Amino acid sequence: MELSGLFSYFVFFLSMASVYAVLVLGLNIQWGYTGQLNIGVAAFFAVGAYTTAIVTGPASDNYLGGFGLPFVVGLLLAMVVAGLLALVIGLITVNLRSDYLAIATIGIAEIVRLVLKNEAWLTNGVRGISSIPSPFDELSGITEGLAYLSVLLVVVGGVYWTCERLFRSPWARVLRAIRANEDAVRAAGKNVLLFRVEAFVLGSMFMGLGGALYAHFVGFISPSAFDPMFATFVVWVMLIAGGSGNNRGALLGAVVIWAVWTMSSSMIGVLSDIGLLPDQLATQASALRIFLIGLLLEIILLTRREGLLPERPPKAIDRAD
């Protein structure tokens, strides 16, 4: 690959990794800080993406569009709508145990997917929404890519900084206490329900933000882009591989697993070209990648559950709370 091709590949890689990083940071607030098993990441990702697509995208006869709102507004609204969805779900499911919450979130994701596919008046159905504007549409080629990447990196930095500040805050201490001993926290007079809902909503807002960033990056979205395999499963593997409970781990996981994902795709291409991979398997490249990522997850769970960057133990002060 020539240098410019390699460079643009690198820009693409880092951009997608950044989108995923935002998603993983959001999931970390739910799972890492609060112990909430959200297997419906795809729902909030999709809602964020579609919100921004609808409010910033072009007008259309087929579906609700043409508001032409600016990029930043799209991002913000994505967060708001994802947050609202999370609020509704959170209030209903907040006191469910992890296993039940997990199933409930699968259901949510399914319903969101059904709505996206079937309510074409809103989302244009399976045809998807295209021509989603990016703030750098006037630029071209590598410049556009670089410009957007810098926006992404700024956002990732901001989200990371926010999550780190939160991690050290009294709020997060209460969340950790709830994870350890819910009854004690309730007895101390704190509203456990409220804390849990807050964590769930905040995490989901970041997921919505990730979805919006994705929509503007790719320019086209459809219900199939938010397939649970890509949207939810990969994000989970990223969090576990990187080290759940841990924001640096979240970032690392996003980059490493995304690298595995993209490299495995190239690897499959190469292996197939040199004849080491039967054609039938090569055409199922995406399935093979999922299989390998799944296998990777199992290996991680069996051998190094804490991930690459194990969770930092909470500070001793927690006991005083």
Contact footprint for another protein (CB under 8 A): 37, 39, 92-93, 96-100, 102-104, 106-108, 110-111, 114, 117-118, 229, 233, 236-237, 240, 280-281, 284, 287-288, 290-291, 293-295, 297-298, 301-302, 305
Looking at the Cβ atoms of 2 and 298, the one nearer to another protein is 298
Query: 5 to each of 10, 11, 96, 170, 217, how far by Cα in Å?
Result: 9, 10, 49, 47, 18
Query: What does the DSSP 8-state code read for residue 321?
Result: -
Instruction: Characterize 104-141 residue by residue with b for buried, 16 or more Cβ atoms within 10 angstroms of its Cβ, and e for exposed.
Output: bbbebbeebbebbeeeeeebbbeebbeebbbbbeeeee
Looking at the Cβ atoms of 92 and 259, the one nearer to another protein is 92
Query: Minimum distance between the CB of residue 139 and another protein, rounded to whole angstroms?
Result: 38
Query: Minimum distance between the CB of residue 93 and another protein, rounded to whole angstroms?
Result: 7
CA 51/CA 53 separation, integer angstroms: 5
Query: Minimum distance between the CB of residue 151 and another protein, rounded to whole angstroms?
Result: 32
Looking at the Cβ atoms of 32 and 145, the one nearer to another protein is 32
Are 155 and 135 in contact, with CB atoms under 8 Å apart? no
Query: Minimum distance between the CB of residue 53 and another protein, rounded to whole angstroms?
Result: 21
Residue for token digits 């699968």?
106
Looking at the Cβ atoms of 80 and 281, the one nearer to another protein is 281
Looking at the Cβ atoms of 71 and 236, the one nearer to another protein is 236
3-state secondary structure of 141: helix
Which residue from 247, 237, 232 is spatially nearest to 310, judged by alpha carbons?
247
Query: Minimum distance between the CB of residue 285 and another protein, rounded to whole angstroms?
Result: 9
